Chains A and B, each alone.
Chain A
Amino acid sequence: MKLKSKMQKNLKTLNLLIFLICGCFSYMANAQEDPQVLPEESEFKPAITKYWLNTYGNIRISKRMFWVAQTHFRFEETEDTPFVGQLGQIYNRHAIGYIVSKKFDVALGGVVRFNFNTDPDSDGKTMVPEWRIWQQYRFAMPVSRLMFYHRIRIENRWSKGFEEGDDYIYRTRWRYMFRVKIPVNRPKLEPKAFYIGPEAEVIMQSGKEVVDSPLEDLRLHTSFGYILTPRLTVAAGIMYNFGQNLDNGGIYKQGWTIRTHLYFSPDFRKVRNKLPSIHTED
């Protein structure tokens, strides 16, 4: 029994040795190129700079329903120009929302995102569309004069690379965001109020292709906003983000993004119920 256990132990050591030697060889052979091999320590790529111009529309269509219409233009740096060097993605997010209460709403809809090939060395396609179905649950909590928000988003995502022959891959995204809005010059969030809005969002992913990179992105963003009217708000801020590469969980991408936001919420339901005076005799 003793011998058997000793042999088993030796076999295990041998296996480990062979694995390590093979690993070493393969690491030496492929060094940086092979993304499948985890580096010994996590590796952060240099941060890239980006600029996002985001519009958020919540168009009221009935007492409890609204249409979510968001369009984002996302630019990123080129070698010569930081932040706005080239268009990275155009992003259309639509959904039908349902107001459960003033403090809780849900939404379900689709996204089509146009991904542009920003790699100057790539001979692949210039643009590839990406498709998503998404659902969202948002909770608002008044705390003193501040407002806290929790947002959960679950997205079914189909995306593909730019190279010929690349196929769509499916992933599920799990997103949670915590946000605070702090009125600055007014006692509460109201027209003519400036506010500061810090937020943090973690985006996890799962799917067959996701082997060692569950943390897709962690976004830390603070914006400074101004409420022009109850139906129109503008804001601008800066965001730092980092997340694992899908191909290699040991490698982290990171970025600094300037973000400008336009929030609008028209309501076309208004019914004018009186006729102009000249019709009184019709």
Chain B
Amino acid sequence: MMKSHTFNYHQLIALFLFTFVISSVQGQTKEFNGDYQIGKLKGNATFSYKLRANDTILDGPFLFNDKGIQSLEESVYQSFSVEGDFSNNQPNGDWTLSFGNYIRDKQPKLVDYSYVINVNGLLKKVKGSFNDGIPKGEFIITIDSIKNSEVAKNLFKSTINFQNGVPQKSFTMESDSHAMVGRLLRNGVAHDKWTLFENENLGEVENWFFKEGILTKISIQKDGIAKEINVFENKDDNYKLYPLNRNYLTVVELTHNSSDTNKIVKNGIGGLLEKNLNTYGKVKGFMNQLGDSVSFPNFQVKLPFYPLDENNAAILKNVVDSIQKAEQLSNALLTNAQLSIQKLSNENTKFHYSVTEVISKDYLSPLSRLKNYSEENIVIHFNPKRLLEKLWPNGLPSGKIEIERENNQSRVYQAKNASNYNPKDVNLQEIEKLTYFTLANLEYLHEKLIGEITSQQREEAFLVQEKELIAQLDHLKKHIDSLKKSKPKEIQTTLESMKGFADNLLNEYSAMDENSEKLDYAKELTNCFSRTEEFATSISKLPVQMKEIKELYQDPVWNPFTATVMNEDIKKKITKAYENILIPYQLKNIQTDLKCSNMDSIEAFFERLNNRMVELFEEDTSRLERKLRKEKNPQEIIELFGLNDNEIEK
């Protein structure tokens, strides 16, 4: 037993010595003083840092400010000053940030034997403290309007108390005309009455009543008249905590979709909250470019949550896709100048045009609203049935469309697929059928109306150009089909989407008036389809490039347990961001947002990305990899990879 004790004693000494040596090596602090750039701001910085595994760890005071005015010739001047402390790469202690954007007066004035040039502009200031990267205590953000070098007006001021990073107690937000006070629970959840005062007469003009995060009602005072609006009141609803962000404000706005709520959410308390969100977003964006990421947690609120099951989610996706197509068709017909003229002289065109108007107004308009809610991902906060009933308060339109004529007779439109849905049932299944009904009829009307534009008017030039256009389109489609073979699924989908892209362009083209612009457009489209072919070829080469990058980021490693050499994936955070985020993001962009005009920039992006991946393999990327650990947003990653700057330079 004695032996064992002796062993432990020695072990302790060894451990102590080891820790001492390591900490003394790591503890060497260095100083930086010189030119420095954060984002677009270029200035002078002084800070202390340590090197850990050759990674910069900011530690100690940090000061970054502009170099002062460089030339009196410049009329725009940006001043800034950032001062605070870091501890172990995390902001710690008091921080002050100020950013001013000024325009100078044209003429200097002589004041006390000196030339003085006044400036006008905006000054934004942030003052607050951090505890190891977590906001602590009072954070004050102000935006002042500067006129003749003096503060003319306080445009915005927000004061929030944080404890352990959670907003606490009461907060205030002020604009030049109003001030608002709100309360929060210890966990940052909105509670009690949030009140908006008018600066001039100090009267309460608006109140939001929260009960443990649930906004139960809003009361407003206007011209001496009080009005109350109940917001979330159904106690059976399944409420979940969400951050108070822009989506929340939209849901509040929609829950009582009246012009009142609309105005309130945009102007009153909602307006101040939105301004605050914007401002904190910018502060966070700036701080995150310095050391480790910081976050300013939003206020927490509760919203009803109605998860969509897989089946309904799929239905909704199809519905949204179809609505989009229907909108394009409706738009193409109703904005067609030629049709507008022709309907004046042709009874048939007039009838079909009127039917299109009815379908667009009565059928498509509520569907478009549903599409928007789905795209903003706020449908989950509404009981699906109630949301649909809100959109179709009188049930679905019957499917029977009658157009009044001048002689008081009416003509009935024989709708396609009219019996396919039940107008009395307002549910997602019926909405899906209604969408297909709307799309099918608009397609029919499109064909009918475009067909009614007399072919005599079509010039020979059109016929020749269109023949070429169609031939080019056919060629493009065949080319894509040949490229698609044995490619990964995502590449296949992207290539396939280019066919849809070309079809959509052709649809757009066919909906155009026949004039010289259209003829030019036909030539443009022919070139665009030819360019799309090249673009498709370059996209089809992506898998090969990705394979090369994958092989580049492999290191042969001798495995002592198998006594064999194996390839190890290295810098996985970078290759994952490349493979799983950036490439799919850009492919998705192609699938949804391809234009004749952006093919060059997308192709250039892929080329830059590929080159950057080769560079990153050689570079020390430990800091980048650490930042990528938390980052999933493709835009942020593009920035972290340094790909945005290139684009600006370009």
Contacts and interface: CB of A to CB of B under 8 A. Distances in A.
Interface of A: 56, 58, 60, 66, 97, 99, 102-103, 105, 112, 129, 138, 140, 142, 147, 149, 181, 188-191, 227, 229-231, 233, 263, 265, 267, 272-276, 278-279, 281-282
Contacts of B393: none
Given A276-B55, A278-B32, A231 B568 contact: yes
The 10 residue pairs across chains A and B that have the minimum distance between CB atoms:
A140-B563, A274-B620, A230-B566, A230-B557, A58-B560, A230-B568, A272-B620, A272-B54, A189-B562, A263-B561
Given A112-B7, A278-B32, A229 B563 contact: no
A129 B565 CA distance: 38
Interface string B558-588: 1111111111110000000000000000000
Interface string B23-58: 000000010101110000000000000000111100
B3 to A, nearest CB: 7
A14 B622 CA distance: 87
A274 to B, nearest CB: 4
Contacts of B620: 272-276
B4 interface: yes
Nearest to A66: B560
Interface string B536-565: 000000000000000000000111111111
Nearest to B55: A276
Contacts of B30: 282
B4 A181 contact: no
The listed residue with most A CB atoms (<10 A of its CB), out of B36, B54, B619, is B54
Contacts of B3: 129
A191 B567 contact: yes
Contacts, number: 84
B565 A102 contact: yes
Given A147-B562, A231-B568, A273-B620, A129 B4 contact: yes
Contacts of A112: 7
Contacts of A129: 3-4
Given A274-B620, A276-B56, A190 B566 contact: yes
A63 to B, nearest CB: 10
B623 interface: yes
A68 to B, nearest CB: 9
23 contacts: A56-B561, A58-B560, A102-B563, A102-B564, A140-B564, A147-B562, A147-B563, A189-B559, A189-B566, A191-B566, A191-B567, A229-B568, A230-B557, A230-B559, A230-B568, A233-B559, A233-B561, A275-B54, A278-B32, A278-B36, A281-B34, A282-B30, A282-B32
A190 B619 CA distance: 27
Nearest to B34: A281
A265 B56 contact: no
Contacts of A275: 54, 620
A142 B562 CA distance: 10
B566 A272 contact: no
Contacts of A230: 557, 559, 566-568
Interface of B: 3-4, 7, 30, 32, 34-36, 53-56, 557-569, 618-620, 622-623
A265 B559 contact: yes
B54 A276 contact: yes
B34 A265 contact: no
Contacts of B560: 58, 60, 66, 97, 99, 105, 265
A105 B563 CA distance: 9
Contact of A272 (B32, B56, B567, B622): B622
Nearest to B560: A58
Given A99-B560, A191-B568, A227-B562, 7 more contacts: A103-B563, A189-B564, A229-B568, A272-B53, A273-B620, A274-B54, A281-B35
B560 to A, nearest CB: 4
Nearest to A125: B1
A267 B56 CA distance: 22
A12 B585 CA distance: 97
A103 B18 CA distance: 34
Contacts of B32: 278-279, 282
B161 to A, nearest CB: 34
A192 B564 CA distance: 15
A177 to B, nearest CB: 14
A229 B568 CA distance: 7
Given A276-B623, A281-B34, A149 B563 contact: yes
B629 to A, nearest CB: 17
Given A147-B564, A230-B568, A279 B56 contact: yes
A279 B619 CA distance: 14
Contacts of B565: 102
A102 B558 CA distance: 8
B462 to A, nearest CB: 57
A189 B562 CA distance: 8
Contacts of A229: 568-569
A62 B623 CA distance: 26
B77 to A, nearest CB: 25
A185 B59 CA distance: 50
Contacts of B4: 129
Contacts of B622: 272
Contacts of B35: 281
B51 to A, nearest CB: 8
Contact of B56 (A105, A189, A278): A278
The listed residue with most A CB atoms (<10 A of its CB), out of B30, B561, B623, is B561
A66 to B, nearest CB: 6
A67 to B, nearest CB: 11
A249 B56 CA distance: 65
Nearest to B559: A230
Nearest to B37: A278
Nearest to A149: B563
A37 to B, nearest CB: 34
A123 B586 CA distance: 73
Contacts of A56: 561
A60 B622 CA distance: 21
Contacts of A281: 34-35
B619 A274 contact: yes
B31 to A, nearest CB: 9
A105 B561 CA distance: 11
A276 B54 CA distance: 7
Nearest to B45: A278
Contacts of A272: 53-54, 620, 622
A188 B558 CA distance: 14
